[in-house]
């Protein structure tokens, strides 16, 4: 872009050297620029090229032009870039044209203000290109559609209700004892039980076999005593 001869004043005199402003791009959306300083011009160009390749950055484009208007300032140089229709070409000059062509932009309008230093103009153009953003991606980012800056939201989980059965569980009746004692009488309980025969409407009492046995033994004892 620009080769300058510079000198540094020291105690013994002046040290002369060269500085080369290099712009490097792949003509497909990546561009970089840097300075190379050396005692000879070839060395300064080589250093500048290596530094510019390391400093390459991607540029957002839209159909051969820039997606929107952008303005940037570096030092005293100010650069304004505007999108243009297909077939317009690169309406720019100096350092702005070199950077835009190296980035692969085919249609653009530009205007420079302030200082005309080519180094500042190149850096201002690079700053302007780095500010370009894709409108669709930026809209999605602001709305949180792509997962960036999305606030964490907790979805209420479905409440699980436990169904408690109110029906009483059937209680199994105890099985009747089928053991037969030695006297041949089946007893369901050890205590004598008296039941009134209420089904036929009579007042007769039903006695268990154990009670009848006790009555017979008491009659025998009374006869012996008499």
pLDDT digits (tens, 9 = 90+) for 26-52: 998 899 999 999 999 999 999 999 999
In what helix (H) or strand (E) does residue 79 lie, and over which residues does it extend?
Answer: strand 77-83
Percentage, residues of the chain above pLDDT 90: 51
Give per-residue pLDDT as tens, 50-97.
999 999 999 999 888 999 999 999 989 999 999 999 999 999 988 899
Q: Say how far apart CA 114 and CA 152 lie, in whole Å.
A: 47
Are the C-beta atoms of residues 97 and 90 closer than 8 Å to each other? yes
Is 3.30.300.30 the CATH classification of the domain at 2-142?
Answer: no
What pLDDT was estimated at residue 23? 95
Residue ranges per structural domain of the chain: 2-142
Say what the pTM is.
0.60
3-state helix, strand, coil in the chain (%, to 5): 25, 25, 45
């Amino acid at each position: 872009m620009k080769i300058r001869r510079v000198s540094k004043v020291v105690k013994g005199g002046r040290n002369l050297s060269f500085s080369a402003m290099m712009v490097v791009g792949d003509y497909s959306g990546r561009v970089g620029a840097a300075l190379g300083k050396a005692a000879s011009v070839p060395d300064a160009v080589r250093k500048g090229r290596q530094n510019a390749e390391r400093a390459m950055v991607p540029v957002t484009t839209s159909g051969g032009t820039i997606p929107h208007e952008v303005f940037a300032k570096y030092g005293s140089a100010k650069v304004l870039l505007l999108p243009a229709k297909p077939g317009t070409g690169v309406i720019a000059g100096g350092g702005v044209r070199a950077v835009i062509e190296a980035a692969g932009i085919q249609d653009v309008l530009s205007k420079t203000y302030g200082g005309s230093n080519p180094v500042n103009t190149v850096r201002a153009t690079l700053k302007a290109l780095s500010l370009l953003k894709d409108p669709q991606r930026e809209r999605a980012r602001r709305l949180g559609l792509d997962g960036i800056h999305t606030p964490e939201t907790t979805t209420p989980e479905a409440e699980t209700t436990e169904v408690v059965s109110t029906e009483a569980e059937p209680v199994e009746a105890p099985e009747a004892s089928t053991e037969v004692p030695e006297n041949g009488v089946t007893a369901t309980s050890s205590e004598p039980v008296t039941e009134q025969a209420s089904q036929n409407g009579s007042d007769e009492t039903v006695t268990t076999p154990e009670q009848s046995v006790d009555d017979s033994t008491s009659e025998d004892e009374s006869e012996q005593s008499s």
